[in-house]
Amino acid sequence: MANPVDPFTALLDIANRSIDSAIGLPSQVDIVPHWSGIGFRLGGHRFVAPMNEVAEILAQPAATKLPSVRSWVRGVSNVRGRLLPLVDLERFFDGALGNRNQRRVLAMELGELYSGLIVSEVFGMQHIPVDSYSDETPEEVEMFKAFLMGSYKYNNVTWSVFSPFKLAQNSEFYNAASN
């Protein structure tokens, strides 16, 4: 007959075998917080809009032209029962949009204002480390400066932070009637 094992000794043996066969913890990695926005191209420049300022991204819908509006107003479109005024953002800044197949609409909603900004191309969500932020904006985007909130440089690409809400508060943008 086998000797009865003391319960404490048995538990101690199990604990020691568990410690001997345990795998070490993974090495600790510094986690860098990221800022997220919607990346897009306008006039050959890369921009990123804050997530909370873009309600949705749409393919450019058909639009009904409006009389007596500025040339940068493309018209109005019916999007799921809501009227969406469409603004050609490059034409607003005196440029011309590129390839028609890549154009997209960034819909913004600010209080009562629901408007679509037509951009050259959308790159989707961009997750950029917050430590790559700068208050500075590149010289080549000087014409957009009133609507910019700094920039990020990530993977050798400069993303200027464009605020649709700042644009919506601009008197020229808000007054789309032609002179």
The pLDDT of residue 101 is 67
CA 148 to chain CA centroid, Å, is 14
Label residue 33 by pLDDT band (50, 70, 90): very high
Take residue 152 and report the two structure tokens written for it: 């990020």
Q: How far is CA 141 from CA 58, 149, 170, in A?
A: 25, 12, 18
The pLDDT of residue 99 is 59
Dist. CA 132–CA 155, nearest whole Å:
10
Q: Which domains does the chain have, with CATH numbers?
A: 35-174 (2.40.50.180)
- Beta strand extents in the chain (DSSP E only): 34-42, 45-50, 56-59, 73-79, 82-88, 104-110, 113-119, 121-129, 133-134, 148-154, 157-162
Label residue 122 by pLDDT band (50, 70, 90): very high
The pLDDT of residue 107 is 96
Dist. CA 118–CA 150, nearest whole Å:
22
State what percent of residues in the chain have pLDDT above 70.
93
Label residue 44 by pLDDT band (50, 70, 90): confident
Dist. CA 149–CA 137, nearest whole Å:
8
Q: What is the mean pLDDT of residues 68-84?
A: 93
